[in-house]
């Protein structure tokens, strides 16, 4: 069993919760960030689970999350930037500036700042892993009514490659998972999406289970991926 540590943002539901459960099973100490509700995390009732509440849309809170984590552990082995949000507009022209800013702050800026803190720490502690979550929407340009979401994820992929280059000399491996449609509550945020029609476009003809994405996170955190950095791993049922 591992004695390593991981910080997971957006850990109370969907992919974040599945990843939290898996890493706890593997013996990790998990620092689980959540925004509003912590009900699913509390239900785990695990001795190696540490919960951190914060609104990551405010940049001053991001450093506090990292500091709270580091106050309780000497070494952070893995950062999983999973927290995300989106909003839906009637058209790309009607996306409000405040909505654009909010989505980019949570999906991109918070991940960037946490990655900065983690990279500095991991360079000093001889290595680590940073794993980001992207979306299959980047491949297709996404939906115009949620263009700011897809833009944020495209930027996350570019950010991943930049951090991988910076981390490589210090054995800090940085990768992203380009997740396909996954069976989570997040998928339901777009009330206009015809899920069945969208599933039909997926070669495997089904949604991803959150546990399948979590398994990919664990692979990128494990020694089996020791020669992988700067990669965008697509887990999208063949898309």
Which positions ≥6 away from 34 have C-beta within 8 Å? 10, 11, 12, 41, 51, 52, 53
Alpha-carbon distance of 210 to 236, in angstroms, equals: 12
Which positions ≥6 away from 99 have C-beta within 8 Å? 87, 89, 148
Alpha-carbon distance of 163 to 24, in angstroms, equals: 27
Going by the DSSP 8-state scheme, the letter that residue 12 receives in this structure is: S
Nearest Cα neighbor of 186 from 86, 88, 42 is 86
Question: Which residue numbers are catalytic?
Answer: 149
Q: Where are the beta strands (DSSP E) in the chain?
A: 5-8, 29-34, 49-53, 78-81, 128-135, 172-179, 232-235
């Amino acid at each position: 069993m591992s004695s390593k540590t991981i910080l997971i943002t957006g850990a109370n539901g969907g992919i974040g919760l599945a990843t939290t459960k898996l890493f706890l099973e593997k013996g990790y100490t998990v620092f689980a960030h959540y925004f509003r509700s912590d009900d699913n995390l509390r239900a785990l009732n695990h001795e190696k689970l540490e919960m951190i509440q914060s609104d990551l849309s405010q940049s001053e809170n991001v450093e506090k999350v990292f500091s709270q984590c580091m106050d309780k552990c000497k070494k952070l082995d893995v950062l999983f930037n999973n927290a995300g949000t989106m909003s839906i507009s009637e058209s790309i022209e009607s996306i409000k500036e405040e909505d654009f800013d909010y989505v980019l702050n949570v999906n991109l800026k918070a991940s960037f700042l946490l990655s900065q803190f983690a990279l500095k720490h991991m360079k000093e502690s001889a290595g680590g892993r940073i794993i980001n979550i992207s979306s299959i929407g980047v491949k297709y340009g996404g939906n115009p009514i949620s263009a700011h979401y897809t833009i944020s994820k495209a930027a996350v992929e570019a950010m991943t490659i930049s951090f991988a280059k910076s981390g490589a000399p210090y054995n800090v491996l940085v990768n992203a998972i380009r997740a396909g449609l996954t069976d989570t509550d997040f998928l339901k945020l777009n009330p206009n999406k015809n899920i069945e029609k969208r599933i039909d476009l997926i070669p495997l003809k089904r949604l991803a289970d959150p546990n399948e994405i979590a398994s990919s996170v664990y692979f990128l955190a494990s020694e089996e991926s020791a020669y992988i950095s700067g990669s965008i791993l697509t887990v999208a049922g063949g898309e």
